[in-house]
Structure 1
């Protein structure tokens, strides 16, 4: 995949908005029919997903189940095409002469699905809401570069100013050449004024400006699914070519795959490991197995007993070297995963497989045992090393294989810690009540190398679930973010990864292909750079 490089944004630029959709109050039958008729088909496309962790407020979504939905309900300033290239969606232009001060002009005449106009104030209000400390939004980290942002107190984003209904300005604390590239991520979506009358109620029945909207009030049936239909008010490039999308929240990937084979599910983006050796034969040209910007790891919390200080550094390295990644990826994933060489993704510009320190990812039984013994000389280890995971996500096989590799190599007790579903798992992670290591991964928000590092490992970052902090690492991220060119930035980001290889806040495992497919019931199925199908392109008679 070719991913757009970010250096060109330092001059005057015009980029676009992320692919998202809109929803509203219950539409009439006439609205639903006319919206579908404008596309190339009228069938409702069925797809797999998982119960969103939080209400559907874009700034508080940082997981895949919620992300799939808000990306169809809202439209941002830019959207990304299948290859990760940004295109204007709500933005008419995004301009700067210094990569620090930006003027954003909106297309005129756009509306939400409730006919409320999309105006500049909607972006400024939404960004301020997400950034405000007291609102505790998971996407707040994405606004830290804007003047006025604070981690310590409620503070308005003083760098935002509404010029008029169709334009606003953004002043960053320092130049950020890749700032326009970030604007397709859901944290940057606008919110209509009605959202702020009752944000909790809005999260259950959101009103957006994207290609889809809720089929009716209450279309989100918790732990069951969610029904979307085309939004007749949408005027962007992602116009729905079907009569709607219904997401079903499956308890297992096996159940979803069986429904796909029986033509009871139209699009699947996660083949179960039990079918890795057969799905390409079973689905034929409807199978998908392509590289994606997805990274798999597990995180060891900084406060986990035995895993801090000098003792912790030794144990983290020993754990990493005790994992036979090539054997696991061959035996379980059968050509759908590649052992990791770094903390990012090979499909992103700037990736490298020669970063110093990466040898800690190589299976080395002798060195792993020696490091563990050295740590035991500081303080003997007791107990069981566990890896938490959600049982509804198809993770049991690899977690069992990884913990068995650790157990057999180091001679310690190690096992998986399954949760019944993604939401309960993530709630314990978010609330810091999980009692061991836990599976983590990253599906890129936007196609930039920084996105795999800053949001996960920077101090106080929104997805820094292990509470890692290292001032030297933070400084290199900051220096890379203000670099004049993408090549200069990526060299600094690679240096930052050298620190990660020493500290190992997370243990990199492998890069993921998106493995999925479609039923004979649909056509025009394409998977994007970040592994998510372009649902709006799918046709179904």
Structure 2
């Protein structure tokens, strides 16, 4: 078995309800979708034999024959259609339900109460064929078919979805190890799925995801060869990790970012007062200095809400000056907010202690405190799950650190989950019809260049409203032990798990 770092998943391992890193890296090993994304970000068909469309709106999908789940039951057209309908139905409250938004009938299953139980745009023609009708052409629909919410589920899942999520049965390259595979808050073990038929077969005998309370402990285990792969070197080790690890050190840009978020019920951060305060805080943060001093250049100042590593990125969008350090302007804008309502209290920034965030959050709070003259402090939570639970349930009551790690390589995938009015992953409670309309236009664009231009216009709306404050893009630092070889960092900063080999 190869030991890799991870965190306790926030929720049971149901693809349509997994929208965080700890669960996502496991779900992607357990399930295979119509398509998959390789380490370099290229897309390949997986369960799909063909995905045909002439207009990017109406699709006919044919599955390869012979696929089964790890319990031996066949993967059929119903496995996909039933899973998507479950994920979309409002009463199932799935965090990734927004991803089905383009499908005809999504509005009916999302109504309260729902006007239908299934989306009318999905039709099963036979065991291996189904059709998908979208409300409009959607430029990245074929790409998003590689994303977890579009994975299939066996019929057994629907008998007790909660229990299924504790011991999922998938069709991916791995399956749960026999026995106590998931030891909560400790580790989770996977072994190769003998029935897997796709293009990413495991080159190892299994993976153990070890749930660390902090990256310093993980790094110590890496140096002792007790952990085989660590995808995030802690900031305390950044000055020395290349010397420690030699040619086992990895550093490369990744499609991953870091934000500071605030929700609609946070005092002083609603309406125009809130917009001005977010703008002032953004200009009070010296991103370049923090990125260099704490992360030794492995974090670079954010220039938009996506990632510099994505196709179509534009780092000079009009309005992006609010992401630049400008202490004098920050103080002027803060005073304008005080004219609306005088500031009171302290500005707290929640973060998870098991993610190696204390140093940069403390530095960010210091930059805000020194610039604006307010009491700004970090607020630690022991685990990512505890932080996310309060964010999701709207009980956090303070600002919080979060961000996005790409699930498929488009700018739309960074923007739609976090800022669309219809998204259950919209943690900042942002609502702007103008933004929604521009994103819809970008999806319906005839080509990528036209789509990127509309994405830029949508981001200009975000730069004005600042629903979250972009802080960093990632240049990821990782490493591996002396026991393993063929360790590669993928386009979104995760290890290429299936191709790691023991020496």
Which position in structure 1 is the counterpart of 2:349?
Answer: 387
Q: Please give the alpha-carbon distance, in whole angstroms, between the structure 1 residues aligned to 2:317 and 2:266.
A: 27
| Partner residue of 1:159 out of 118, 121, 128 | 121
Which position in structure 2 is the counterpart of 1:46?
Answer: 3
Work out whether 1:98 is the aligned partner of 2:55.
yes
| Partner residue of 1:111 out of 50, 68, 82 | 68
Q: Match of 1:291, SS?
A: strand
Q: How does 1:41-440 map to 2 (within 5 A)?
A: 44-150=1-107, 151-153=110-112, 154=114, 155=116, 156-440=118-402
Once the two structures are TM-superposed, the CA of residue 527 in structure 1 deviates from its matched residue by 1.1
Deviations 1:345-369 (A, max 9, x none): 1111110011000000111111111
Once the two structures are TM-superposed, the CA of residue 303 in structure 1 deviates from its matched residue by 2.8
Q: Which runs of 5+ in 2 are unaligned?
A: none
Work out whether 1:489 is the aligned partner of 2:448.
no
Q: Match of 1:237, SS?
A: coil
Cα contact 1:204–1:218 (8 A) shared by 2: no
Q: Which runs of 5+ in 1 are unaligned?
A: 1-43
Q: Please give the alpha-carbon distance, in whole angstroms, between the structure 2 residues aligned to 1:365 and 1:267.
A: 40
Q: Please give the alpha-carbon distance, in whole angstroms, between the structure 2 residues aligned to 1:446 and 1:92.
A: 20
Cα contact 1:205–1:218 (8 A) shared by 2: no
Work out whether 1:447 is the aligned partner of 2:409.
yes
Q: Match of 1:533, SS?
A: coil
Deviations 1:401-446 (A, max 9, x none): 1111001100001101111101111000000000111101100111
Cα contact 2:485–2:501 (8 A) shared by 1: yes
Q: Match of 1:277, SS?
A: coil
Aligned residues: 498
Once the two structures are TM-superposed, the CA of residue 316 in structure 1 deviates from its matched residue by 1.1
Cα contact 1:126–1:189 (8 A) shared by 2: yes
Work out whether 1:519 is the aligned partner of 2:481.
yes
Q: Please give the alpha-carbon distance, in whole angstroms, between the structure 2 residues aligned to 1:452 and 1:236.
A: 27
Once the two structures are TM-superposed, the CA of residue 217 in structure 1 deviates from its matched residue by 4.3
Q: Match of 2:105, SS?
A: coil
Q: Please give the alpha-carbon distance, in whole angstroms, between the structure 1 residues aligned to 2:253 and 2:40.
A: 11
Q: Match of 2:493, SS?
A: coil
Once the two structures are TM-superposed, the CA of residue 302 in structure 1 deviates from its matched residue by 2.6
Q: Please give the alpha-carbon distance, in whole angstroms, between the structure 2 residues aligned to 1:240 and 1:186.
A: 19
Q: Match of 2:304, SS?
A: coil
- TM-score after normalising by structure 1: 0.91
Once the two structures are TM-superposed, the CA of residue 216 in structure 1 deviates from its matched residue by 1.5
Q: Please give the alpha-carbon distance, in whole angstroms, between the structure 1 residues aligned to 2:275 and 2:221.
A: 45
Cα contact 1:160–1:170 (8 A) shared by 2: yes
Q: Please give the alpha-carbon distance, in whole angstroms, between the structure 2 residues aligned to 1:258 and 1:244.
A: 22
Q: Please give the alpha-carbon distance, in whole angstroms, between the structure 2 residues aligned to 1:237 and 1:146.
A: 28
Q: Please give the alpha-carbon distance, in whole angstroms, between the structure 1 residues aligned to 2:139 and 2:186.
A: 42
Runs (4+) off by over 4 Å: none
Q: Please give the alpha-carbon distance, in whole angstroms, between the structure 2 residues aligned to 1:461 and 1:186.
A: 16
Q: Please give the alpha-carbon distance, in whole angstroms, between the structure 2 residues aligned to 1:448 and 1:414.
A: 34
Q: Please give the alpha-carbon distance, in whole angstroms, between the structure 1 residues aligned to 2:92 and 2:272.
A: 37
Cα contact 1:299–1:506 (8 A) shared by 2: yes
Cα contact 1:119–1:166 (8 A) shared by 2: yes
Once the two structures are TM-superposed, the CA of residue 83 in structure 1 deviates from its matched residue by 1.1
Cα contact 2:96–2:423 (8 A) shared by 1: no
Q: Match of 2:501, SS?
A: coil
Q: Please give the alpha-carbon distance, in whole angstroms, between the structure 1 residues aligned to 2:160 and 2:330.
A: 54
Q: Please give the alpha-carbon distance, in whole angstroms, between the structure 2 residues aligned to 1:271 and 1:505.
A: 29
Once the two structures are TM-superposed, the CA of residue 284 in structure 1 deviates from its matched residue by 1.0
User: Pairwise CA RMSD of aligned residues?
Assistant: 0.9
Q: Match of 2:203, SS?
A: coil
Once the two structures are TM-superposed, the CA of residue 300 in structure 1 deviates from its matched residue by 1.8
